[in-house]
Structure 1
């Protein structure tokens, strides 16, 4: 790892455990793969495996429909990337990434990205597009729903809650609201099971807990509820 500059978290991958176990079982004299084998032979096998997985997902897309998820993030070197994933009942699969470092991502350009992805997937297979709540995405989502009336734009629930935290602490650092909202954030940001069927009930329970934290005195928590409702209903 040190010699090749590999990231330290590679030891947390399941494949690392299998790799160590395989080497240990072979014992002394194991021949490592050549540069050509790693670059061509074995890589092609892995690509074939991934393509088979994607084909299995495509069956689900055409049968049940799918959600397109776009995740925009900026690296430490200020490089902006938009990762595009597709979600269906059997899980999510990475579709592609777009380098947005050298150009602005205004509403028109985001709409073009929505459109090209929808057309690639087949409009009849797409149920919704999920992005964060940035203003350009809100506008692009409205344009997209005008062009594709059967496809919804849906804001990211985790981003909504992060914005709620920011709005609340701009007004006043309400310590008594953090724990209930953090529970909702952990639910929607988890990867163990889909949370769509639980998030609205979870938010209702969080609001009940917040009201209880203020001993049921409405004037003490009504501003918090207004902030939550404004973001949650976007």
Structure 2
């Protein structure tokens, strides 16, 4: 059995009755809880988790539910177990499950192969050679995992989502958070919530992340960098970024597909960005060497002598 992922200091002293349970390596998770007292006789106890100090009246099955954060049960998962410790606990529990199964098969006397084959086929209607259920499958809930994989894949296929979305760290964090937290009855946000409340909250979140960069503009100075490009819809765009010694920051992009991109047009949008960033914060504007950009630069220098 793997060594416990917690130190002895993290576990309370065990009672004599519990020590006997701990000697049984088929129930290793008793180590991480303390039995306070028996409730109603039998194997039902008032139990205290040594990790989060939560108490509940249950037996070993509920101890597993609590420590392994099994979703859909009455006992809430332990909130102080990290993902790394959860992996260790699941490994310990899986090894114990395999030991139980091994001990069962060790003492079970099976009929002859031909008789067993006929009995399984007649009673279950399934050839045992074609059955794929196993201890490992039931332990790791492989069928549920496979079903969830298919549902996620259908979401990609039905909407034509790019496959590289699966590499997005927020995509992976979403499912990891849902798998490791007990959120009974949770429904994902719908169409209206995504485009209103959550969008506004995320905008405020991004603005808070950018505020330290903006605060550095007056101290270190800013270079405005601009260039033209075409997006996947072949629209002609001009983007503007504010560059400082610390970090760059995207300011805006202009769709100029139906515009005449002369020096006055470019100078107008340069001025808008200058006023947004603050003329006193800007040292220079960097563009390509197109004729209209050079002409726009002269207009800006005439209006803002401190900007090169």
TM-score scaled by length of structure 2: 0.45
Give the secondary structure class of the aligned counterpart of 1:118: helix
Q: Deviations over 1:34-78 (max 9, x none)?
A: 333322232222111112123222211122221212231123543
> Equivalent of 2:238, from 65, 70, 82?
82
Residue 123 of structure 1, aligned match among 279, 290, 306: 279
What is the root-mean-square deviation in Å for CA atoms of aligned residues? 2.3
Structure 2 match to 1:150: 306
How much has 1:26 moved relative to structure 2?
3.9
Mapped to 2, the partners of 1:41 and 1:75 lie a distance apart of: 28
Matches within 5 A, 1:1-234: 1-26=156-181, 30-152=186-308
C-alpha deviation, 1:98, in angstroms? 0.9
For the 8 Å contact 2:251–2:273, the answer to whether it is kept is: no
Deviation for aligned residue 1:99 = 0.9
Q: Which SS does the other structure have where 1:45 is aligned?
A: helix
CA distance, structure 1, for counterparts of residue 169 and residue 232 of structure 2: 27
Structure possessing the higher relative contact order (Cα contacts under 8 Å, 6 or more residues apart): 1
Query: Which has the larger helix fraction?
Result: 1
Q: Distance in 1 between matches of 2:225 and 2:214?
A: 16
Secondary structure in structure 2 of the residue aligned to 1:132: coil
Q: What's the secondary structure of 2:250's corresponding residue? A: strand
Q: Is the 8 A contact 2:283 2:306 kept in 1?
A: yes
Q: State the 1:27 CA deviation.
A: 7.6
Write the distance in 1 (CA, Å) between the matches of 2:272 and 2:190: 40
Deviation per CA, 1:86-143, whole angstroms, max 9, x where unpaired?
A: 1223312222221100012112211111122112222101111122222211221233
Q: Distance in 2 between matches of 1:146 and 1:132?
A: 19
3-state DSSP of counterpart to 2:203: helix
- Give secondary structure in 1 for the equivalent of 2:157: coil
Q: Distance in 2 between matches of 1:27 and 1:134?
A: 59
Cα distance in 2 for residues equivalent to 1:13 and 1:149: 44
Aligned to 1:197: none
Alpha-carbon displacement from aligned partner over 1:132-190 (angstroms, at most 9, x marks no partner) = 222211221233223322212xxxxxxxxxxxxxxxxxxxxxxxxxxxxxxxxxxxxxx
Taking a change above 3 Å as real, the CA distance of residues 106 and 47 of structure 1, as seen in their structure-2 partners, is same
Return the index of the structure with the highest Cα Rg.
Answer: 2
In the alignment, the residues of structure 2 paired with residue 63 and residue 28 of structure 1 have an alpha-carbon distance, to the nearest angstrom, of 46
Q: Please give the TM-score of this superposition, normalised by the length of structure 1.
A: 0.57
